[in-house]
Amino acid sequence: MDNAQKNTPSAEKRQVFLSPAKVNLFLKVLSKRPDGYHEIRSLMQPVSLYDEVTIEVVQGDGIFVSSDHAGVPGGRDNLAYRAAERLLDAVGVKRKVSISIGKKIPVGAGLGGGSSDAATVLMGLNSLLGCQIDDKRLMGLGAGIGSDVPFFILKGPALASGRGEILKRVKLPRYNYVLVNPGFHVSTAWAYNNLDLTKKTEDNILIYSEEHLDSDRNIRDFLYNDLEAVTAVRYPEITAIKRALVEEGAQGSLMSGSGPTVFGVFQDAGNAEAAFERLKVTLDRAFSVFLAHGL
């Protein structure tokens, strides 16, 4: 885009951006689509657990991705790389783009870290280049990278349908979360492929109004994840973590996405902090425990 080239000086531009994690408060897998994806219905909320994504733009050509986590790939295997590539192609600009990812969100954890980093690169590079692409178009670019990428561009809780890219904003209470990651990776493809859709009951109506979620009982009733049963059979740690969170006062507990991260929901921030401090001591040392709130 000519306008982007005119607005971008030759001097180096560098900025650090925060990429939030997400939790699935509700995840129902409805069917397998002809394109190989699954039709889902989910309620997602971004939470205050962040990766730090540093983007540097200078004159030149090429995209370079690095991370402080050995499990994060470089090159086109990284969604952040593909995000930069798509943005540059979309606006017709050549720049040397260096992306450094400081990982705080566990990898392969059901928290959307890779998709969030990709969304951050789309938005951050758009800003640094002065392209002025609106969020709707950015979300379209993001949908071609990963199903959760548009959600992170929306920047708020949403009801997702389709393969996750069709979004409707919703209003949620400012929940507090204690998240526990048991330290192993679960493949999203494995979880979906091992879900027996023939044994699932009929779809139920998702009620997501703030009024419905306003009581302890309703929080417990609301939390649901079709993939939890699949992952928990192979990894009994998930059930044990759920139990520990509820024993520490969580009003409800659920595995996020394809797992293995489990979260507990607390309406009171003080109760969440107290549970967080206790669980850091009592849980297996291989587990990572995080305190966050909904965004």
Positions marked catalytic: 22, 148
Q: What is the dihedral of CA 192, 197, 202, 207, to 10 degrees?
A: 0
Q: Bridge-partner residues for 293, per DSSP?
A: 176
Contact between 7 and 130 under an 8 Å Cβ cutoff? The reply is yes
Bridge-based pairing of strands 62-67 and 38-58 is unpaired
- Spatial distance between the Cα atoms of 204 and 211, rounded to a whole number of angstroms: 18
* Placement of tokens 């705080």 in the chain: 104
Q: What is the dihedral of CA 66, 143, 115, 80, to 10 degrees?
A: 10
Give the residue from 218, 196, 193, 195 showing the smallest Cα distance to 207: 218
Q: What is the dihedral of CA 154, 159, 164, 166, to 10 degrees?
A: -70
Q: What is the dihedral of CA 70, 76, 81, 86, to 10 degrees?
A: -170
Long-range contacts of the stretch 200-208 (C-beta < 8 A, 24+): 200/29, 200/226, 203/28, 203/30, 203/41, 204/28, 206/26, 206/28, 206/41, 206/43, 206/159, 208/26, 208/43, 208/159, 208/170, 208/172
What 8-state DSSP symbol labels residue 285? T
